Structure 1
Amino acid sequence: MGHTCRPRRAHFATIHRLEDSIVPYNISFISLGCAKNQVNCEQMMASVQAAGHTIQAQPEGADVVVVNTCGFLQSACEEAIDNILEMAELKRAGQVQKILVTGCMTQRYKQDVLNELPEVDGILGTGSYGDICAAIDEVMGASGLRPCHLGSIHTAPQDGGRILSTPPWYAYLRIAEGCDNHCAYCVIPSLRGKYRSRPMEGLLEEARELADAGVKELLVIAQDITRYGTDLNGEHQLASLLRELCRLDFHWVRLHYLYPDEITEELIDTIAEEPKIVKYLDIPIQHCNDGILKAMNRRDTKAELLDLLTKLRARIPGLVLRTSLITGLPGEGEAELEELCVFLRETKIERAGVFPFSPEEGTRAAQMDHVDMEEARRRAELVVDVQSDIIDAYNESVLGTEREVLCEGFDSQAQMHFGRSYAESPDIDGRIWFDADREVEPGTFVTVRLTGVMDGELTGELAEE
Structure 2
Amino acid sequence: MKAGFVSLGCSKNLVDTEVMLGLIKEREIELVNDPSDADILIVNTCAFIQSAKEESINTILNMAEYKQPEKGHCKSLIIAGCLGQRYGQELLDELPEADGIIGTEAWGRVTEVIDETLKGNRLVIKGDETIYDASVPRIPTTPKHTAYVKIAEGCNNRCAFCAIPLIRGKYRSRKLEDIVAEVRNLVDKGVREIVLIAQDTTNYGHDIYGEPRLAQLLRELCKVEGIKWIRTLYNYPRFLNDELIEVMATEEKIVKYVDIPLQHASNEVLRRMRRPDTKEQITALLKKLRERVPGVVIRSTFIVGFPGETEEQFQELKDFIQEQRFDHAGFFTYSKEEDTPAANMDGQVDDDVMQDRYHEIKAIQSLISQEINESLVDQVLEVIVEGHTEDGTSYGRSYRQADDVDDLVYIEDDTTSKVGDIVKVRILQGFTEDLVGELAE
Match of 1:335 among 283, 296, 312: 312
Distance 2:367 2:412 in 1: 26
User: Who is 1:18 aligned against?
Assistant: none
Counterpart pick for 2:113 among 113, 124, 135: 135
Q: SS of the residue aligned with 1:109?
A: helix
Contact 2:369–2:432, Cα closer than 8 Å, also in 1: no
The C-alpha deviation readout for 1:344-383, integer Å capped at 9, x for no partner, is 1111111111000011111100111220222212111111
Following the alignment from structure 1 to structure 2, what is the Cα–Cα distance between the partners of residues 423 and 325? Answer: 20
What are the ranges of 5 or more consecutive residues in structure 1 without an aligned counterpart? 1-24
Q: Which residue of 1 aligns with 2:354?
A: 376
Aligned partner of 2:86 in structure 1 is 108
Asked whether 1:223 is paired with 2:199, we answer yes
Residues 135 and 147 of structure 1 are in contact (CA less than 8 Å); yes or no, is this contact kept in structure 2? yes
What is aligned with 2:149? 173
Measured in 2, the distance between the counterparts of 1:220 and 1:456 equals 24
Matched, 1:267 2:270: no
Residue 145, structure 1, aligned to residue 116, structure 2: no
| Structure 2 contact 89–124 (Cα < 8 Å) conserved | no
Tell me which amino acid in the other structure corresponds to 1:111: Q
Rounded to whole Å, the distance in 2 between the matches of 1:350 and 1:331 is 28
Counterparts of 2:187 and 2:222, CA distance in 1: 11
1:417 aligns with 2:394: yes
Q: Distance in 1 between matches of 2:343 and 2:437?
A: 46
State which of 132, 137, 162 in structure 2 corresponds to 1:158: 132
Q: Distance in 2 between matches of 1:105 and 1:329?
A: 23
The amino acid that maps onto 1:158 is: Y
Partners of 1:215 and 1:276 lie apart in 2 by 14
Distance 2:393 2:415 in 1: 11
Task: Give the residue type in structure 2 aligned to 1:432.
Answer: V
> Which runs of 4 or more aligned residues in structure 1 lie more than 4 Å from their structure 2 counterparts after TM superposition?
none
Structure-2 residue corresponding to 1:95: 73
Q: Scaled by the length of structure 1, what TM-score is found?
A: 0.92
SS of equivalent residue, structure 1 residue 360: coil
Q: What residue number does 2:258 align with?
A: 281
2:439, 2:41 → 1: CA distance?
A: 43
Q: Find the residue that maps to 1:407 and give its secondary structure.
A: strand
Superposed CA deviations along residues 282-320 of structure 1, whole A, max 9, x for unmatched, are 100000100111111100000000000000000001011
Task: Note the C-alpha offset of 1:438.
Answer: 4.0
Identity %: 44
Q: Distance in 1 between matches of 2:415 and 2:29?
A: 42
Distance in 2 separating the partners of 1:167 and 1:58: 19
Which amino acid letter does the alignment assign opposite residue 113 of structure 2?
A
Residue 397 of structure 1 is matched in structure 2 by 375
Normalising to structure 2: TM-score of the pair?
0.97
Pairing partner for 2:171 from 187, 190, 195: 195
Matched position secondary structure for 2:255: strand
Deviation at 1:151, TM superposition (A): 1.5
Contact 1:158-1:177 at 8 Å conserved across structures: no
Structure-2 change in CA distance of 1:54 and 1:437 (3 Å): closer
Residue number in structure 2 paired with 1:184? 160
**What secondary structure sits across from 1:258 in the alignment?**
coil
Q: Measure, in 1, the Cα distance between the counterparts of 2:19 and 2:166.
A: 22
Contact kept in structure 2, 1:291 and 1:331, CA below 8 Å: no
Q: In the alignment, what sits opposite 2:234?
A: 257
Contact 2:373–2:432 (CA under 8 A) maintained in structure 1: no
State the Cα deviation string for residues 154-211 of structure 1 (Å, max 9, x = none). x224222211111101001100000000100000001000000000111111010011
* Cα distance, 1:34 vs structure 2: 0.5
Q: Tell me how far apart the structure 2 counterparts of residues 236 and 455 of structure 1 sit (CA, whole Å).
A: 36
SS in structure 1 of the partner of residue 231 of structure 2: strand
Distance of aligned partners of 1:263 and 1:312 in 2 relative to their CA distance in 1, 3 Å threshold: same
1:387 equivalenced with 2:362 (yes/no): no
Per-residue deviation, 1:88 = 1.1
Equivalent residue for 1:9? none
* Structure 2 runs not aligned, ≥5 long: none
Given residue 412 of structure 2, which amino acid in structure 1 is its aligned partner? Answer: D
- TM-superposed deviation, 1:140: 1.0
Structure 2 counterpart SS, 1:426: coil
Q: Which amino acid aligns with 1:453?
A: G
AA aligned to 2:167 is: L
Q: Which residue number corresponds to residue 22 of structure 1?
A: none
- Counterpart of 1:118 in structure 2 is 96
Give, in angstroms, the shift of residue 37 of structure 1: 0.4
Change (3 A) 1:437 1:158: closer
